[in-house]
Structure 1
Amino acid sequence: MNLLKKLFKQTFIYGLATVLPRVISFFLLPLYTSIFENASGYGQYTNIYSWIAIFNVFLAYGMETAFFRFYHKGENKSTIISTSLISLLCSSLLFLVLALSMKETLAELTNINIDYIKFTSYILVLDALVIIPFALLRAKEKPMKYAFIKIINVVINLSFNVFFLLILPKMAQEGSSGFFNSIYKEGWEIQYIFVSNIIASGLTLLILLPTYFKVSYKFDMGIWKQMLKYAGPVMVAGVAFTVNEVFDKILLIEILPEDIAETQVGIYGACYKLALFMTLFGTAFRMGIEPFFFSHAKTEKPQRTYAQITNYFVILGSIILLGVVVFVEVLGKLFLGSEVYWEGLDIVPIILLGSFCLGIYHNLSVWYKVTDQTKFGAYISSIGALITLIINIGLIPKIGYMASALATLIAYGSMMLLSYYFGRKYYPVPYNMRKIVFYLSVSIVFSALSFYVFHRNLIAGSILLLLFLGLVYKMEGDKLKAIFLQREN
């Protein structure tokens, strides 16, 4: 139980590092949706950051996960750190040179205004340079420092967004000093979002810069090749994951008629954000368990602990699924700044369930990570990406962004089932499938009742949520008390 308590503690802190900054940044959603009132501007923003997400995976090329594996596995940790830092530093600088010299080609490829390519390139490189410093904090189990830096990043980003998008225009209109008038440019909303991001990412790199100076640099070609061999399938899986996560927005831009494409993407992208609560939970849990999986892979019967972790993930995820569905209309009115976005609320339960399936998949994926069979991760996620592409391309012309929501659910659901199937064969974990299926089924049924039968009625939904919480407490209360109230040795 002490191991589980330690895991949940670290997951809670990583959750703060992930959830609190995202919650702070979530307040940017009403800001952006009020500034981009016709939704097309928000659609353009969504398209740009979808491409940033894809390029982020290529610039990381699986080195974060490879670093964890070799850091815990290898004896010469300093060489692994220095080799990883040199690898990402060189590849990032090479990308920057190529991106700035090929702006026209990139603009044509991505449908991004050529004036924005420079900004996106700087953001991508700054984010790539902090991958290993952040991974090192997680590997050394320093979640508090990790959380602090992450929160600082988003507070800075949020502050500059508010300044550039709300305060600066008012100061310029009121005829403030010449300095503020000189830096204000009308119609520069997206550029100001980029500038805010660059400032926040740059300061984050500055805070983590000591990592680069404390290392005794030594590049080990042998270790690097082994890491790349391990990281290659992870990168393929990462690209496939990112296709599942963001490529639907890009396809909506490409497939829908030009006069409505950006507006539809804006509505879809804004409502997609309301599923962020499930995504944040899954991300926080994954960040806590990934180092845990590797560090405890050689302990006695680790599979039993992995099974317990997955059980509690499903229980907590089921509560989040039902809770967000019950309050979806309240959240929509609170965070979507213009009524034009409300028509997309129908996608939220579907995206939520899809994100839940993805979170379960990450828990199930322990088998191919600890057995060094990352190729299966690439296979499974590639199948998910293929499903995403087929459904989007086939159904977007018929049902618009609802096709993208359904594709998300079907792709992640398929990945979850495939990982469970292959995991039973190569690394059996004694999951309590009866309990997992029970909680998942009850949560889905109650969510469907609240959203579709009671038509988002807050009172009816709240009663269903309380019933579910009571059920969880009755069945799991004693076990949860045993974990969290037990003293550590």
Structure 2
Amino acid sequence: MSPLKRLASQTAIYGVSSVLGRFLNYLLVPFLTYAFAPAEYGVVAEFYAYMGFLAVLLVFGLETGYFRFRSGGEWQPETVYGTVLRFLVLINALCFLAFLLASQPLAALLRHAEHPEYIVWCAAILAFDSIGALAFARLRAEERAGVFVAIKLSEIGVNVGLTILFIYVARQAQAVDPESLLGRLWDPTIGIGYVFIANLAASMLKLVLLAPWLAAGLGAFDPGLLKRLIRYSLPMVVIGLAGIVNEMLDRAALKYLLPYDESTNLAQLGIYSACYKLSILMSLFIQAFRYAGEPFFFSYAKRRDAGRTYALVLNWFVLGCVFLFLLVTLYIDVFQYFVGAAYRAGLDVVPVLLLANLLLGVYVNLSIWYKLSDRTLMGAGVSLIGSAITIGLLIWWVPVQGYMGAAWAHLVCYGTMVGLSYGLGQRYYPVPYDVGRVLGYIAFGVGLYRFNRWLLTQQDWPALGAGTVCLVLFLILVAWEAWRLKRAASA
């Protein structure tokens, strides 16, 4: 199988789990936005933003370190795995204990003093997920995508099922008969907190399913290897934290930066977060590509045609992203029904967020230069510059433009990071990317989006017809590129 086909097949398998799994989670968005007011949904968005930051810290960038040293040949894969696993178990156990002891003051600091249990539940989820992340990395490295998919889908299925059980079934049962078995499951004082309880139960199940792979790594440990792993991986923590700043700081900070009262700010956060979910297809594609791409890039790096292959991967990746950008924006009249009516005031942020995520995907491709050349500190520098831009623009734009300012901050940040990463990569790990063609794909997609808006507003076309015409035009471009590639390969 050719390398591109192998990467595509792995991306497709991981994509199935991501798409199916996230689609199930995606169904929770309309479910929760129809069941809770924006201010209540904003609490979930806020806590998951905090968890995004901590998740990076508690993995210590050791997933990438595991891939790097596993394929280096100096240590046995089992030794690398066992060393990382023991370290992660110890660190996460200590962190959970710290959050448990400090739950009440932390809850008060976050202005949720009446719910310290949120801190404990979220800390437990983080610990389970951080340990499980390494077992998933091993499955990816061993190309056991089927097992990966099965466990991921099981976790997500339990999460979604329990959320619906608690918030819909038990809530309805409690209204009919408070003393029934199901009715007793619903406690109005917990309310939106059932989202965290369902997540915690799903994370526990995941660790049980991963137990064979976790137990297999407990026998090996090398202190010298651990030092080298940490030295390599710590810059990845900085990169990861900076990435979370760029990706999730807006949802953690909107409550404090918006110029309204706290209740209104939480409602605005809920609206923004729900509309952010409409960019989920792009995020799914990028996540699936990350799962398959990282081990692929490391394993293929020593081939003579690696650079040409990486450049070709970027071309097709961008075409896929532009297709998803158009699919959502051209049919936004359909996608809008995935959020409750009270949340649709924020739909204007969706095209901007989709473009920002597209650029994030380009950055994911370009970032191979610092991973393959062991210049992770320089990669951290790029991420920190992006974080500084994000923080500065959030402080500047959100009080003036509201959550739309947060969306534009994403776009500017990722655009800057793409430019910096491309320039540094061409110096330290040159890859012959077809920059003109990549920029042309993006420009063509944005042009079709603007053409669609013109058809709707100036020519009074029906939304479905205008969107379909524009999407067909893009698919013609994709067919042309496929024909051109086939012709070049046979020449």
TM-score range, shorter chain: over 0.9
Higher relative contact order, chain-length normalized (CA < 8 Å, sep 6+): 1
Q: Tell me the distance in 2 between the aligned counterparts of 1:252 and 1:12.
A: 35
User: What is the alpha-carbon root mean square deviation over aligned residues?
Assistant: 1.8
Q: Tell me the distance in 1 between the aligned counterparts of 2:155 and 2:454.
A: 39
Name the CA shift for 1:472/1:178 in 2 (closer, same or farther; >3 Å). Answer: closer
Q: Tell me the distance in 1 between the aligned counterparts of 2:456 and 2:224.
A: 61
List aligned pairs for 1:45-60, cutoff 5 A. Answer: 45-60=44-59
Does structure 1 residue 26 correspond to structure 2 residue 21? no
Deviation at 1:186, TM superposition (A): 1.7
Q: Tell me the distance in 1 between the aligned counterparts of 2:290 and 2:404.
A: 28
Does structure 1 residue 304 correspond to structure 2 residue 303? no
**Structure-2 residue corresponding to 1:444:** 446
Name the CA shift for 1:414/1:111 in 2 (closer, same or farther; >3 Å). Answer: farther
Deviation at 1:181, TM superposition (A): 3.3
Deviation at 1:453, TM superposition (A): 6.4
2:85–2:217 CA contact under 8 A, matched in 1: no
Name the CA shift for 1:405/1:452 in 2 (closer, same or farther; >3 Å). Answer: farther
List aligned pairs for 1:109-188, cutoff 5 A. Answer: 109-112=109-112, 113-175=115-177, 178-188=180-190
2:326–2:445 CA contact under 8 A, matched in 1: yes
**Structure-1 residue corresponding to 2:63:** 64
CA displacement 1:94-138 (0-9 Å, x = unmatched): 001111111133224444442311111111111111011100000
List aligned pairs for 1:342-361, cutoff 5 A. Answer: 342-361=344-363
TM-score normalised to structure 2 length: 0.94
**Structure-2 residue corresponding to 1:405:** 407
Q: Which amino acid aligns with 1:281?
A: F
**Structure-2 residue corresponding to 1:476:** 482
**Structure-2 residue corresponding to 1:467:** 473
**Structure-1 residue corresponding to 2:388:** 386
2:173–2:180 CA contact under 8 A, matched in 1: no
1:251–1:393 CA contact under 8 A, matched in 2: no
Name the CA shift for 1:270/1:154 in 2 (closer, same or farther; >3 Å). Answer: same
Q: Which amino acid aligns with 2:470?
A: L
**Structure-2 residue corresponding to 1:78:** 78
Does structure 1 residue 364 correspond to structure 2 residue 366? yes
Secondary structure of the 2:71 match is: helix
Q: Tell me the distance in 2 between the aligned counterparts of 1:332 and 1:31.
A: 13
Q: Which amino acid aligns with 1:300?
A: R
Does structure 1 residue 99 correspond to structure 2 residue 103? no
Deviation at 1:452, TM superposition (A): 6.5
**Structure-2 residue corresponding to 1:271:** 275
Secondary structure of the 1:130 match is: helix
Deviation at 1:283, TM superposition (A): 1.1
Name the CA shift for 1:480/1:191 in 2 (closer, same or farther; >3 Å). Answer: farther
Q: Tell me the distance in 2 between the aligned counterparts of 1:247 and 1:390.
A: 12
Aligned residues: 480
**Structure-2 residue corresponding to 1:290:** 294
Q: Which amino acid aligns with 2:70?
A: Y
Q: Which runs of 5+ in 1 are unaligned?
A: 484-489
Deviation at 1:175, TM superposition (A): 1.8
Q: Which runs of 5+ in 2 are unaligned?
A: none
Q: Tell me the distance in 1 between the aligned counterparts of 2:427 and 2:285.
A: 28
**Structure-2 residue corresponding to 1:239:** 241
Deviation at 1:59, TM superposition (A): 0.6
Deviation at 1:449, TM superposition (A): 2.8
2:169–2:182 CA contact under 8 A, matched in 1: no
Q: Tell me the distance in 2 between the aligned counterparts of 1:267 and 1:285.
A: 28
2:86–2:218 CA contact under 8 A, matched in 1: no
CA displacement 1:391-418 (0-9 Å, x = unmatched): 1101111110011000011111111111
Deviation at 1:177, TM superposition (A): 5.7
Secondary structure of the 1:44 match is: helix
Deviation at 1:480, TM superposition (A): 6.7
Q: Tell me the distance in 2 between the aligned counterparts of 1:106 and 1:18.
A: 33
What is the percent sequence identity of the aligned residues?
36
Q: Tell me the distance in 1 between the aligned counterparts of 2:10 and 2:305.
A: 22
**1:251 maps to which of 250, 253, 275:** 253
Q: Tell me the distance in 2 between the aligned counterparts of 1:155 and 1:399.
A: 38
Name the CA shift for 1:92/1:480 in 2 (closer, same or farther; >3 Å). Answer: farther
Q: Tell me the distance in 2 between the aligned counterparts of 1:431 and 1:478.
A: 17
Task: Name the stretch that deviates more: 197-206 or 99-108.
Answer: 99-108
Q: Tell me the distance in 1 between the aligned counterparts of 2:350 and 2:26.
A: 16
TM-score normalised to structure 1 length: 0.95
Secondary structure of the 2:304 match is: coil
Name the CA shift for 1:429/1:21 in 2 (closer, same or farther; >3 Å). Answer: same
Secondary structure of the 1:209 match is: helix
Deviation at 1:482, TM superposition (A): 10
**Structure-2 residue corresponding to 1:487:** none
- Runs of 4+ with >6 A deviation: 480-483
1:68–1:291 CA contact under 8 A, matched in 2: yes
List aligned pairs for 1:411-450, cutoff 5 A. Answer: 411-450=413-452
Q: Tell me the distance in 2 between the aligned counterparts of 1:178 and 1:467.
A: 57
CA displacement 1:430-486 (0-9 Å, x = unmatched): 111221111111001112332476359332222111111112212324637999xxx
Q: Tell me the distance in 1 between the aligned counterparts of 2:418 and 2:133.
A: 27
Q: Which amino acid aligns with 1:165?
A: I
Secondary structure of the 1:73 match is: coil
**Structure-2 residue corresponding to 1:486:** none
**Structure-1 residue corresponding to 2:230:** 228
**Structure-2 residue corresponding to 1:336:** 339
Q: Tell me the distance in 2 between the aligned counterparts of 1:157 and 1:481.
A: 47
1:51–1:110 CA contact under 8 A, matched in 2: no
1:325–1:451 CA contact under 8 A, matched in 2: no
**Structure-2 residue corresponding to 1:40:** 39
Q: Tell me the distance in 2 between the aligned counterparts of 1:114 and 1:132.
A: 29
Name the CA shift for 1:117/1:480 in 2 (closer, same or farther; >3 Å). Answer: farther
Task: Name the stretch that deviates more: 242-251 or 106-115.
Answer: 106-115
**1:320 maps to which of 317, 324, 329:** 324
Q: Tell me the distance in 2 between the aligned counterparts of 1:155 and 1:481.
A: 44
2:167–2:186 CA contact under 8 A, matched in 1: no
1:233–1:374 CA contact under 8 A, matched in 2: yes
Task: Name the stretch that deviates more: 157-166 or 109-118.
Answer: 109-118
